[in-house]
Amino acid sequence: MAKKKIKQKTNKKIIQATVKNKVRYSEEFPLKEKVPAFAELMRINNCVMALIAILIGFALSNGMNYSLALTAALSGFLICAGGQAINDYFDYKIDAKLSKNKPIPSGRVTRKEALWFSIDLFILGNFLAYSINPIAMNIALAFTFLLVIYPAILNKVKYLGNFVVAGGTAITFVFGSVATGGLSQLVLALAITAFFANLAREITKDIQDTKKDEGTKRTLPMLVGTNIAKLFVVAYYLLAIMGAIGTYLLFLLNAYYFVFVLLSSAVFIYAIFLLYKNRAKESQSMSKVGMIFSMIGFVLILL
């Protein structure tokens, strides 16, 4: 008990030191180190995936205006980046405990800098969405709001926040579609399958991080227990698989898409197997592979 109190006091001192000295530390870092730190805040890999999803949604909706496609893709990229940066702004205390190499705990970026950086990204992304059409603008504003609410409030009740994260992935396809001036039913169907697959992966991550999240977040495994949470994962993966196969049959898509539906389905089933072997980390990694196969399948619809 005494050791636990000492550890808590030590952690508290680390956080206080980080908060107290964050501005001084940031000023000590040269620009060449701050620029990569801002890039880290953006989590560029995630935002590139959002950009690609928007382009897929645009192409599958028979969009022919390449300038408009790039505008929509860049808008989504910037809003995604703003959401990543604002997440670090709100999670700085948790990051100070778990990952002192992150931009804010390391002192390379101050909280104030991260906040203004995210605001700038949101403004630029929404301005581009405004230049597309009113529907795109409304979607951009709605998800900007959710990307702020998620780390500020919903991250603490992560079983609700999971829907925001999964919805954010799915909406990128829809955003690309509405940029053409309408909403393709095919794109909507694909977005729904992506939503369920991502929801399964988010819960798998929560199962993996149960110990780490204790005392800071309220996740589905904490709420209903790990075994019930696993059943939710299975259900969501099965909905994603059935949705993908149903989309193939309903829209009479080509064989290339179907091959990758089978591949992604096999990977998702293997991810379930790993989860029940208590290998949650490997399971959610396999889920990423399944999603990549799915996106390749989406692109091959164009052939």
* pLDDT-based confidence at residue 158 (cuts at 50, 70, 90): confident
Q: Do domains 30-183 and 184-303 have the same CATH topology?
A: no
Q: Can you tell me the mean pLDDT for 9-25?
A: 45
SS3 category, 234: helix
Give residue-wise pLDDT tens across range 182-234. 999 999 999 999 999 999 999 999 999 988 888 788 999 999 999 999 999 99
**Cα-Cα-Cα-Cα dihedral of 292, 293, 295, 301, to 10°?**
160
Residues 284-295 have a mean pLDDT of 96
- Share of residues in the chain with pLDDT > 90 (%): 75
**Does position 1 have pLDDT exceeding 90, yes or no?**
no
Every domain of the chain and the residues it spans: 30-183, 184-303
Region 107-119 average pLDDT: 94
Q: What is the DSSP letter of 102?
A: S
**Domain 184-303, CATH number (from 2.40.50.140, 3.40.50.300, 2.40.30.260, 1.20.120.1780):** 1.20.120.1780
Query: Between these two residues, 147 and 32, which has the higher pLDDT value?
Result: 147
Where does the pLDDT of residue 159 fall: very low under 50, low under 70, confident under 90, or very high at 90 and above? confident
Side-chain-side CA neighbours of 216 within 13 Å: the count stands at 17
Q: Is the pLDDT of residue 293 over 80?
A: yes
Q: Which residues contact 156 (CB under 8 A, 6 or more apart)?
A: 216, 217, 218
- For the chain, the average pLDDT equals 90
Q: pLDDT by residue (tens digit) across 56-101?
A: 999 999 989 999 999 999 999 999 999 999 999 998 887 777 777 8
The dihedrals phi and psi of 65, each to the nearest 5 degrees, come to -90, 100
Which pLDDT score, from 0 to 100, does residue 206 have? 95
Model confidence at 28, pLDDT cuts 50, 70, 90, reads low
**175 touches 139 (CB < 8 A):** yes
Rounded to the nearest 5 percent, the helix, strand and coil shares of the chain are 85, 0, 15
Residue 183's pLDDT is: 96
In this structure, which topology does domain 30-183 adopt according to CATH? Answer: Tetracycline Repressor; domain 2 (1.10.357)
Residue 162 dihedral angles phi and psi, to the nearest 5°: -55, -35
Give the separation between CA 192 and CA 171, rounded to whole angstroms: 9
Provide the pLDDT for residue 29. 64
Q: How confident is the model at residue 25 (pLDDT cuts 50, 70, 90)?
A: very low
Please measure the distance between the N-terminal and C-terminal CA atoms of the chain and give it in whole angstroms: 64
Q: What is the 3-state secondary structure (H, E, C) of 106-133?
A: CCCCCHHHHHHHHHHHHHHHHHHHHCCC
Q: In a 10 Å sphere around its CB, with 0-12 CB exposed, 13-18 middle and 19+ buried, how is residue 169 labelled?
A: buried
pLDDT of residue 100: 77
- C-beta of residue 33 within 8 angstroms of C-beta of residue 108: yes
Angle 185-208/158-178 helices, nearest 10 degrees? 150
3-state secondary structure of 278: coil
- Please name the helix (run of DSSP H) or strand (run of DSSP E) that holds residue 105, with its range, or none: none
Dig out the tokens for 69 from the structure.
């496609």
Q: At what angle do helices 44-60 and 66-90 cross, to 10 degrees?
A: 150
pTM above 0.85, yes or no: yes
- What pLDDT, on a 0 to 100 scale, did the predictor assign at position 213? 83
